[in-house]
Structures are given as structure tokens and as C-alpha cells.
Amino acid sequence: MNRSLILASVTSLALAGCMEGVSDRELVGGAAGAAGGALLASAFDADSGWTVVSALAGAAAGTLVARNTARNQCAYSNGDGTYRTVPC
């Protein structure tokens, strides 16, 4: 088993204790995003390091999409490096 995969697993388990205010929707969004990222990496025949990176990026994106959907708030770029938050 690759060291980066083990490190990512241990880190995610350690951070799970910090997720007190996280809703079930965000957990499902993060899990779905992680699975999607891992599947895409597998489809492109990426090595295990890139698979971990894509799964983590997918988890982050899935969590943010779930959070924005639950709050009905989306962030849009102003084009100058700043963002505005408005209802979706």
C-alpha cells in the first residue's frame, strides 16, 4: 500500500473528530465527491498519489456544494480576486 494513501487515511480519520458542526448532507457530499475524484483518477489511469489528491479535491468540492445547497448561498467571482455571496 502506498504511503500517501495511508497518510491520507490517517489524516482523514484524525480530522473526523473536528467535524462537530458538519451536517449529514455535507458528509454525504464529501463522500460522493471523494468517490467521484477517485473514479476519475482511476479512469485516467493515474498513479496512487494522484488518486489520493483527486479524491481529496473531490471531497472538498462535494462538501462545499452540499453546504451551499443547504444554505442556498453561492459564491461568485467578481473578476478581481474577490467574491460575492448571493442566493443560488
* Tens of pLDDT, residues 20-79: 556 788 888 888 988 899 889 989 998 888 988 999 999 999 888 888 888 888 888 899
Q: Is the pLDDT of residue 9 over 70?
A: no
pLDDT for res 57? 92
Q: Is the pTM of this model over 0.95?
A: no
> Please, are residues 30 and 59 in contact by the beta-carbon 8 Å criterion?
yes
Q: Which residues contact 85 (CB under 8 A, 6 or more apart)?
A: 73, 74, 75, 76
Q: Which residue has the cell 462537530?
A: 20
pLDDT for res 20? 55
